[in-house]
Structure 1
């Protein structure tokens, strides 16, 4: 018993100093309870229950935090299971979807028409195409 009192006498000032430092930073607040200490993280709202054992203080999650942790773990487990099921059913594929030859031909046709029109505009602006009248009729006026 004398040994644990000496350990407590050593740890308690460190705990108080640590609590004072944390309080100065405004992050943690510690309160003594019948079973040990309650530590509140003022930034996140997390509550930890702390007990002194063998000259050391050990903290663990409070019941509310544990429930939230387990809920999040359950949600993540369900997401992983859904992804594995989708992968197994063929809905999900590691291979990228490549376009068909028809899709490529259609895209190339559109690109070719765009390039032809663009080149016609360039020729018109350079003065090489006089189909629609004089060059001054085709060029826009600059102000």
Structure 2
């Protein structure tokens, strides 16, 4: 009984393999467009053809001499090439940076003396302390600089012009209503 079952399973498997082989042979004998290799989509200018095996895309147009298909440039390949170029640039720049750091570290220090502590910075925006006159306790107020005077005069001139323009507008409005 065992041999009958195993031989029937073998027979079923053999028939299945034969059917699959026959179907593949039938598809191989058919033109590529009929066995599903190409997918076609219509466009305004003609047809867009996608090769489902390779992923290549072509545009097909009907010119006066007949149909002609031209491969569409693969933007992905161009982007991959640009990414590769940029990564090579990064590696080159990092190597140059390391070389420059090593070159700088090998140089002798050009400043002599103690340099560990930073020098205090003078704050130019902080108001200076009032000066005490010789012998007396007088407070001297520093005069504004020429730059400060120019800024102040510019502000006053703009304010004066706006005031005159407002007065002229009011005068025109009053004269227009009378």
- Structure 1 and Structure 2 fold alike (TM over 0.5): no
Answer with 1 or 2: which has the greater Rg.
2
Q: Could you tell me the TM-score, scaled by structure 2's length?
A: 0.25
Greater RCO structure (CA 8 Å; 6+ sep): 1
1 or 2, which has the higher helix percentage?
1
